[in-house]
Amino acid sequence: MRTNILITGASSGLGEGMARQFAAKDRNLALCARRTERLEALASELRSTNPGITVVVKELDVNDHDSVFRVFHECRDELGSLDRVIANAGLGKGQPIGTGAFAANKQTMETNVIGLLAQCEAALEIFREQKQGHLVIVSSVSAVRGMRGNVTAYAASKSAAASLAEGIRMQHLGSHIKVTALLPGYIESEMTAQAPKTPLMTSADKGAKALVKAIEREPGKAYIPGWPWTVLAQVMRFAPLPIVRKLS
């Protein structure tokens, strides 16, 4: 069992939901995010409802790369080990390319790609020392194809995340280091609150449960929820661009 779990981006959305689900399973948690006041409130709640667990809180901006390595090692030292790292921190800013929003698109790419790389490097350093561990990279179903408009940079960053996960998984095939890429569809969160309403939207609670259920299986890749996104992802992958445009 993966007892000690670190989650980045844990102050809201998918990270917060996964933290609640794992706490209910009596897992010890290291919760990392920029908004420590929200982390402290969540940690207090989890300790109260699950008194047998340890919850560590750390302020972390994944774009401060030196801090990523320091914080991950501090969490490992305080919990005794890190059995699973969930690289969930990410950014959903973005505007159509060429409309003067380079700064927003750049920030999204830096956070979701270079910030993710720092998390993977730090996690794998620890796992190599321990000779075991489970790295979970939160990508998106938008990684399947290029997307238009406000989602172009975001989708490209999540495609990089999925590719990074596959490369790391390939490196460690047959070892005790496991790697999972999660590709969520529409799940209620601060990020999706800005997206157009869709009948495909999954509630935050249902989405968190589906994420944790998939993580516990430790697959190489999983679309979340499995239905309908496993099927829709294949449609998106092979459909002509005019059809993908309507879906995006």
Beta bridge partner(s), residue 179? 135
**Active-site residue 154, yes or no?**
yes
Q: What is the DSSP letter of 110?
A: I
198: pLDDT strictly greater than 70: no
Backbone angles phi, psi at 118, to 5 degrees: -60, -40
Q: Which residue range forms the structural domain that includes residue 193?
A: 4-247
pLDDT confidence band for 246 (50 / 70 / 90): confident
196: pLDDT strictly greater than 70: no
Number of domains in the chain: 1
State pTM to two decimals: 0.94
CATH number, domain of 102, equals 3.40.50.720
162-190: per-residue pLDDT in tens?
Answer: 999 999 999 999 999 999 999 999 998 76
16-61: per-residue pLDDT in tens?
Answer: 999 999 999 999 999 999 999 999 999 999 999 999 999 999 999 9
Extract the tokens encoding 45.
């709640």
113-147: per-residue pLDDT in tens?
Answer: 999 999 999 999 999 999 999 999 999 999 999 99
Share of the chain above pLDDT 70, in %: 95
Give the active site residue among 154, 186, 223, 229. 154
Q: Is 166 helix (H, G, I), strand (E, B) or coil?
A: helix
